[in-house]
Amino acid sequence: MEQFRLPKIAMPELPLPRSIQEALAEAEIKLAHRPKLLKLFKNCFPNTLETTTKLQDDGTTFVITGDIPAMWLRDSVEQVIHYVPFAKDDADLQRIIGGLIKLHMKYIQIDPYANAFNEMANDWHWNTDDITEMSPWVWERKFELDSICFSMRLAYAYWKETGLSDIFDSGFKQAMRTAVDLWKREQRHFEQSPYRFERDNGIPTDSLMNSGLGMPVNYTGMVWSGFRPSDDACDFHYNIPDNMFLVVTLRQMREIAEFVFRDLAFEKEMAKLEQEVDHGIRLYGIYRDPEFGPIYAYETDGYGNYCLMDDAGTPGLISIPYLGYVTEDDPIYQNTRRFALSKQNPFYFEGKAARGIGSPHTPPDYVWHMALSMQGLTAKSDEEKLEMIAMLEATDADTGYMHEGFHADDPNTFTRKWFAWSNSLFSQLVYKAMKAGLLDG
């Protein structure tokens, strides 16, 4: 089995948009008393634009993840989402973000089951022998429910921030149609879905059991997902954070259908789907834990089996308020948060240098910088936000950047030195704290 990865990826350097330069200049003043944090912010905040972004001749924008020469729908959104608040009066930033949205809509129509795509139809793939229906455009075809949700999240946020509706063309509406058809089909995966995925590389989490169909599920109203946001296979295929994200996404798409496309029948169809998914979450997605009380499960199969954990990736249980499903004050979320940040979560680790959530995607005792950033972004107290920023600042291994996972005892042992999503999420936390006055000297 051949895995295709380029050793080095060179992207053309883009001039930084004016609004981003102004944000960096603001940080020079407000973070002057914290030189290391300032350095980290100056490195991480523009990292996506400086190293992973390419403007294409057709008006679209291609964004690689960093050390992999492909564009993940999920990652590319989270790599640029912290720029959206600056886009209203910045034409250069509008070109970048608007172009990314247009490319997402093209890719969704090419293959709504794929999670990562090539810049062109060059037939490059993560693994050349995956047993699934591949396309020359597709880098990897792991169906992750959150992928298209992120695409719609970016479009909605961009529209609300800028007021611009030029992204909502016929291609966008067709992508919406493709997505809704996909989600309705995957409510009844075993009865209706053509999707299969197998990878014979000796890594169980890279392949779906049961001849690529996945493990059995009961109908719940929720939507089936093959893989988690970590790109690892689900244990039970109704991922609760993903389905929560889908509920929020459908609300946003309904607004677009009603007020942009004036298609009330489509809006009504999505409202029904939203209600079915939300009902499934409330009925099947809550576990009565003897220690923490009712908590949101990470996954379920609808037969009464649960996966109780949290993963560092987004969507995850910690990130539920970030996604917009409930607020930080939701009592079940608060119970869930206490569980996720405890040793009852099998992927919560504590060490000499850090404590936080890791992932089955990386070795034991590895805490993820993204998890620390998300914990800060969803924290209710200023004290917890500042604690997370301090921990992030202290665990960069003096590289000036965020990483994927690092050993809780030794931040110098880490994975992925070039991981733009992690840099962006850190930047989002620091900028919000800076604007709130939490980092004033």
What tens digit of pLDDT does each residue of 366-401 get? 999 999 999 999 999 999 999 999 999 999 999 999
Euclidean distance between CA atoms 64 and 54, whole angstroms: 9
The closest of 383, 387, 426, 437 to 403, measured between CA atoms, is: 426
Which pLDDT score, from 0 to 100, does residue 1 have?
A: 26
**Inter-residue long-range contacts of 87-94, CB under 8 Å, 24+ positions, other chains counted:** 87/19, 87/158, 87/161, 87/162, 88/161, 88/162, 88/163, 89/19, 90/17, 90/18, 90/19, 90/20, 92/15, 92/17, 92/18, 93/17, 93/19, 93/20, 94/162, 94/164
Q: What is the pLDDT of residue 5?
A: 43
Could you read off the pLDDT of 129-187 as tens digits, one per residue?
A: 999 999 999 999 999 999 999 999 999 999 999 999 999 999 999 999 999 999 999 99
Helix, strand, coil share of the chain (percent; to 5): 45, 10, 45
Pairing relation of β-strands 238-239 and 299-300?
A: antiparallel
Q: Which CATH number fits domain 18-435: 1.50.10.10, 2.70.98.20, 1.25.40.20, 3.10.310.30?
A: 1.50.10.10
Q: Which structure tokens are listed for 153?
A: 């999240």
Question: Confidence band (pLDDT; 50, 70, 90) for 416?
Answer: confident
Nearest residue to 269 via CA among 252, 254, 249? 254
Q: List, for residues 226-281, the tens digit of each pLDDT value.
A: 999 999 999 999 999 999 999 999 999 999 999 999 999 999 999 999 999 999 99
pLDDT digits (tens, 9 = 90+) for 46-64: 999 999 999 999 999 999 9
pTM: predicted TM-score of the whole model, two decimal places: 0.96
Q: What is the pLDDT of residues 81-102, one digit of tens each?
A: 999 999 999 999 999 999 999 9
Domain limits, the chain: 18-435
d(CA 133, CA 317): 31
Q: Which amino acid is at 21?
A: Q
